[in-house]
Amino acid sequence: MTEITQTPDVPAFSFTSAVTLCVDFKNPQSYFAKDPSHTLESDFDLRIDWQPMLVPAMTLPPARVADENRGTQHRRMRAEYDEKDLQRYARVRGLTLKNIYRNPDSTTAAAGLLWAKRFSADIVRGYVDRVFDRYWSELLDMEDPLAIGHLLDELGAEGNKFVEYARGEGGIELRELQGALRAAGLFNVPGYVVQGEIFYGRQHLPMIRWLLAGRPGKGPI
């Protein structure tokens, strides 16, 4: 797993888009944020700036034991609830959601997003859709540069050149980006940045919509 370290002199990321969204392809909450975020783009006629951000995988709930203390019980129950909540939304939305505790190295897929951003917004959207959908359907090895390159080829993004990029320049760009995002105050995904404010999770989309609409009325419900 690539280790990202931040140095004190790393400049913070410059947010130039109406909405920036940081995601990690192995993170199920990022996956669930994808389609509602596409709807946001359509409703407000904007293009989200998708940025890869590497975060730890979800933690498997500890096994229930007879003499667990209150802190252990709370962590277990919270983790169990998070899993049930994800599966509930997956059923309602008709999404495939298999093992949510898988912990692949998502560095290569993240570099693929940076590569896609060299082309067009449509290619970025296609890349985001295909990586999320195929990974969570267990149809994509996101650690395989050749698999990511093939996916990029499907989108017309010169995937044949991606492997070299991922092994060199792409790795450098990704490390620098992680430091810049953290210097800007981001630490989790999905992380939305709108009008200088950071929101974690798709549950904040009503607030984000209110901000983009010019803050009408008394605020979002």
Cα(85)–Cα(10) distance, rounded to whole angstroms? 37
Residues 21/50, Cβ–Cβ less than 8 Å: yes
Residue that has been written with the tokens 């990511």 in this structure: 148
Q: Tell me: pLDDT of 26 over 90.
A: yes
The pLDDT assigned to 8 comes to: 52
Q: Domain 20-57+102-212, what fold?
A: Glutaredoxin (3.40.30)
Task: Check: pTM over 0.85? Answer yes or no.
Answer: yes
**What is the pLDDT at residue 42?**
97
What is the tens place of the pLDDT at every residue in 155-205? 999 999 999 999 999 999 999 999 999 999 999 999 999 999 999 999 999
Contact in structure between 100 and 47 (CB atoms under 8 Å): no
Which pLDDT band holds residue 220 (cuts at 50, 70, 90)?
confident
pLDDT of 197:
96
Cross-strand bridge partners of residue 51: 22
Confidence check: pLDDT of 5 > 70: no
DSSP string, 10-36: PPPP---SS-EEEE-TT-HHHHHHHHH
**DSSP category for residue 59:** P
Tell me what the mean pLDDT of segment 111-135 comes to: 97
Q: Does the pLDDT of residue 7 top 50, yes or no?
A: no
Categorize the per-residue pLDDT at 126 as very low, low, confident or very high, splitting at 50, 70 and 90. Answer: very high
Separation CA 158–CA 142 (nearest Å): 18
Give the whole-angstrom CA distance, residue 55 versus residue 66.
32
Q: Is the pLDDT of residue 2 over 50?
A: no
Measured distance CA(152)–CA(155) in Å, rounded: 5
**CB half-sphere exposure, 55, CA atoms < 13 A:** 23
Q: For 50-66, how does the pLDDT look when each residue is reduced to its tens digit (9 = 90+)? A: 999 999 998 877 777 77
Respond yes or no on whether the N-terminal peptide bond of residue 190 is cis (omega within 30° of 0).
Answer: yes
Q: Is the pLDDT of residue 92 over 90?
A: no
